[in-house]
Structures are given as structure tokens and as C-alpha cells.
Structure 1
Amino acid sequence: MASLNCLPHSLPIVSHSSSTKCLVPGNPKRRRLGLKSSRHSRRQSFALTTRAAVDGVSAVDEVSGAAKYAVDEVTSLGRSPLKLKLLSAVSGLNRGLAATEDDLRKADAAAKELEAAGGPVDLSTDVDKLQGRWKLIYSSAFSSRTLGGSRPGPPLGRFLPITLGQVFQRIDTLSKDFDNIVDLQLGAPWPLPPVEITATLAHKFELIGSARIKIIFDKTTVKTTGSLSQLPPLDIPRIPDGLRPSSNTGRGEFEVTYLDADTRITRGDRDELRVFVIA
């Protein structure tokens, strides 16, 4: 069977051999220089069409899917300078603990630029984009230097010897689990070493509208790490609603204002700006 080596719009010359050759009109030198890259892309399209036919998938769907991927890649590259600008604005701020009023303004302005470039977030048909373990790199509320951020919480480094470590969000879109995971170091009287713990604040979440998330607190699990990692975890159940202070309802809401494969921006119900990267 004759091989198919001809590019579209070329003129076939049929010989008596088992192969089919192509003659491209015009200067041979121009053919070599001008069609080298296009030949590669056309071969890719031909391969996509052939694979689609074998798999029983529409060739149009297959090629359009490849085109969408290419558009997504270009769009992501177009936003890269804005992402770098945001990351530069929040770098060196110790997740916001060291942020000044000027730092807060710069971070907010950089986030708004990226949010505008990305457009509205719609999770109603693709909530799986939230799936994964996300590392917090900035929170505007941490400038208050409390673990509660804009809500009441233990102060950091003032009255209690608490050092904040890494902060993560672990989201499971299938089970609707939404866990805030915080590494802490608690000071101890000399000569005892500091106690390292990981606190997991377990929540359930639900999607409200297209991009707003509602979380409901369930319980806190505290696990010692480091030299005391052999100790079992301790579960602290949720305080009944009747005994809860009015300032701590165990519920919260925030809006996802930007989301791609590795970066997420959220704005909380108390104007808290958070920036996450995939961990």
C-alpha cells in the first residue's frame, strides 16, 4: 500500500513504485525553510485525526481539544508576569505576619490585577479545580499577628510563646472535607525544648453560587511532631452552638477570586485576602 507522505496543497507525482512522493510548487529553498515548522504541526494534526479514528472519537473534537489546550497554555503564559508580580509583592512578608500598611496595599493591588486578567471564577461545573493540598503564602489578616487573623485568636509572640510554621489547606471535593492544617511551635521553660505540633482544623464545605465557599467547623486534631511524634493525636470536639461566643460561630464564607493549576486567590467574609500555591 502506498505511504501517505504528502502534505496538504502539494502536487502528488504517482510513480510505478509502492511509494507516493510530493512536489511542492515554488522555490525548493523556500520549501525547506518555510514548511519545516508547518510540516511538524500538520503531522501532529494528522496523528490526532488518525488516533481519533482508531479510538472512535470525532476527529473534530480531538483537534479542537488540542486547540483549547494550546489556548489555555498561551493564556496562562500571558498571566505569568502578573502572577510573578503578586508573588514578589508577598515574598518576605512571612505569610503576612511582617506586612506593613504599605505591603498590604501593594499585595492587594497585585492580586486585583491578576483577578481581572483571569476573569470570573466558575466552580459550579468544575469544583474539582479546588482538589488538592494548597500552601498558604500570604494572608492579609496575619498582619494583626494573631492566629485567628481578622477573628479573635491567640496572639503570636506577644503574650504566648507561639511560633507559626507552615499553613496548608487540604480540600477533598468528593468527601467535601476542607481542612486547615497549621504547624506550630510552643515555647517551653528552659531547659526543655520547644514543643512542635500540627493542628488540623477539620471542616465540611459547600459551594454557594459559582465561586463562593461556605465552611462549617467540625473538630480540631492536635498531633505532636519532632521528638514527641510518638504521642497519639488528640481530638478536640466542636463546642456546642449554645456555648459558643457570638464572635465564633464555627462557620465562615469566602470567595475564590482567581484559580488556575497552581495558584489560588480567595477573599474572605472579613475582607481577608489569601494567596495559595499548590503544594
Structure 2
Amino acid sequence: MVSLTSFCHSSLPSSSSIDSLLPTKTHTVITRALKFHSLGGDHLRFNRRQFHQKRSFALRSAVDEVVIVPSTPSSNTEEPKSEPVASLKLKLLFVVSGLNKGLTANVNDIRKADAAAKELEATGGPGDLSVDLDRLQGRWKLIYSSAFSSRTLGGSRPGPPTGRLLPITLGQVFQRIDILTKDFDNIVELELGAPWPLPAVEVTATLAHKFELIGSSKVKITFEKTTVKATGNLSQLPPLELPRIPDQLRPSSNTGSGEFEVTYLDADTRITRGDRGELRVFVIS
């Protein structure tokens, strides 16, 4: 990924260096064009602008393979501004891939993810949610949380541990945001182990919140209720609403509300940083 970023900012390479930068077919066309042009050929004109267009096409093709949609190509000789952002997004996704949403991340993994996120945040900027609140709308899939490295389902807050102590397997995690009703739901898929020969029980827990915008990029959420719905073979069972812990019995570390800042947001990727230093990366689902 570092080489891709360097390539995005590089100046026009010589024909001898094209071999290491472009796919074979594009390389053949450009190399012949450069050689023919240097001999003063009149039948094929290949200038710096055309080269930039071909090089941009090669980069966009590489990015498209990882489902990151680029902006419309620029008509001038400069590289499209979206390409550095796209390459930084690709770098971040590469760093957090394979970490099981952060559950298997070690200290080095957390450091690399944080550094990659900061690069994207610095380039893309946080944006102004007071103007573009509708960009939050939708169902977002969590692909990384730095707090899950604590090996608890509560992340940076207290929660049931995963692993051998309790037979709980964490599945997909989503955030469903409705800007009209101000609903903010954390949706967690879980698999609960059962004694043999009983099969595991699959459930979906929905932690319902209301949200409000604070300033231009900070969001405050307030907990309302938790609903558990069995899925799989037990999907015919009605959902169960768990009783809420009275405020006077609630631990001081779990007040039922929280805040986070949206540090990067575009049509398909969102980065947030929580009030306890938690880094989260989401993609639109």
C-alpha cells in the first residue's frame, strides 16, 4: 500500500521505469508510444497529459477491484484529488482485515490501525455533520474496533468476556442510524454455546439508543432498551426485551450514554473515535 501511495504522488516516470509500475498491456502501449514519439513519429502522438490519463486509469482499475468507487477522472493534467484518499482507504482496510473486528488484534496491530486511520483523517477531514447529517443515514457494518482487543463484548466498557470463560461467539456488528427519528441502534449477532448434544443458539441483540448532534462532528447517544431475537432454528420465537438496570444500580462506568466524534465520513466509509479513545471503522452495509 505504501508503494501505491507513492505512485499516486510521483512525477512522470521514464520509459525504463514503466515496467515496474503499470500492467503489461498498458506498459507495451506506452513504451512503444514513448519510443516512437522520441523518434519524431507523426502517426502516434503521446504527450504527458495522455500518459497521466493512462496511469490514472490503471490506478482506478486497481482500486475498483476492492470496491472503492473513485471520483470522475479529471480533465486536466493533475491527478484526481480522490485518488490519494482512495489509496489511504485501501491501506486502512488492508491493515484491519483479518483482525476479526479487532478481537485478535495485538498491540502492534492497534498501532498500525491507528496510524492508517490518522492518515486518512488528516487527508479527508471530518466534515460538518450539522450541514450533511444525512450522510450518517443507513446501516453501517463494523469492521474494526480497537476496544475489542480487550477480549470483552463491552469493548472499552465492562462486558461479558469472549473465549473459554463463556461460550459466546461474536458475529457481525452493525449500527443502524435514522436521522429522522434520531434512532441509533447497535445490532450484534451472537452465538451462544449449549451443552452437548444441544445445538448452539443464534441470537441478535439490538441495543436501542437515541442520538443528538453536538457541534459539527460529535454525536451523543443515550441508551433506551435491549431486545434479543433468536435466529436460525429458533427464529419463530418472539423477541425478548431485557429489563433495564435501574439508574441507581447502574455502575458508574456505564451511565447508559456515550459520545463519539466522526473523524472521517464519505459515501461508504466512516471512522469514529469514542470518548474512551476507542477507534472504530465502519463500511456501509
Q: What is the TM-score normalised by the length of structure 1?
A: 0.73
2:268 to 256, 262, 268: 262
Structure whose alpha-carbon radius of gyration is higher: 1
Task: Say yes or no: does 1:112 pair with 2:114.
Answer: no
Task: Say yes or no: does 1:162 pair with 2:201.
Answer: no
8 Å CA contact 2:270–2:282 kept in 1: the answer is yes
CA shift, 1:214, in A, is 0.2
CA shift, 1:246, in A, is 1.0
Task: Say yes or no: does 1:175 pair with 2:181.
Answer: yes
- Supply the distance in 1 between the matched residues of 2:260 and 2:152 (Cα, whole angstroms): 19
- Supply the distance in 2 between the matched residues of 1:92 and 1:183 (Cα, whole angstroms): 18
CA shift, 1:245, in A, is 1.4
CA RMSD, aligned part only?
1.9
Deviations 1:102-132 (A, max 9, x none): 0000000000000000023210111110000
1:123 to 129, 150, 154: 129
Percent identity, aligned pairs only? 78
Deviations 1:54-94 (A, max 9, x none): xxxxxxxxxxxxxx9877x9433331110010001000000
- Supply the distance in 2 between the matched residues of 1:149 and 1:78 (Cα, whole angstroms): 32
8 Å CA contact 1:217–1:238 kept in 2: the answer is no
Task: Say yes or no: does 1:228 pair with 2:248.
Answer: no
Task: Say yes or no: does 1:137 pair with 2:146.
Answer: no
Task: Say yes or no: does 1:273 pair with 2:275.
Answer: no
8 Å CA contact 2:271–2:282 kept in 1: the answer is yes
Aligned length: 214
Task: Say yes or no: does 1:249 pair with 2:255.
Answer: yes
Question: Which residue number in structure 2 is paired with residue 147 of structure 1?
Answer: 153
- Supply the distance in 1 between the matched residues of 2:275 and 2:80 (Cα, whole angstroms): 33
CA shift, 1:236, in A, is 1.6
Structure 2 unaligned regions, length at least 5 = 1-41, 47-70
Corresponding residue SS for 2:81: helix
Task: Say yes or no: does 1:194 pair with 2:221.
Answer: no
Task: Say yes or no: does 1:90 pair with 2:93.
Answer: no
CA shift, 1:221, in A, is 0.5
Corresponding residue SS for 1:168: strand
CA shift, 1:182, in A, is 0.3
8 Å CA contact 2:272–2:281 kept in 1: the answer is yes
Equivalence map 1:14-25=2 (5 Å) = none
Q: What is the TM-score normalised by the length of structure 2?
A: 0.72
- Supply the distance in 1 between the matched residues of 2:277 and 2:221 (Cα, whole angstroms): 16
Structure 1 unaligned regions, length at least 5 = 1-29, 35-67
Corresponding residue SS for 2:126: coil
Question: Which residue number in structure 1 is paired with residue 214 of structure 2?
Answer: 208
Question: Which residue number in structure 1 is paired with residue 25 of structure 2?
Answer: none
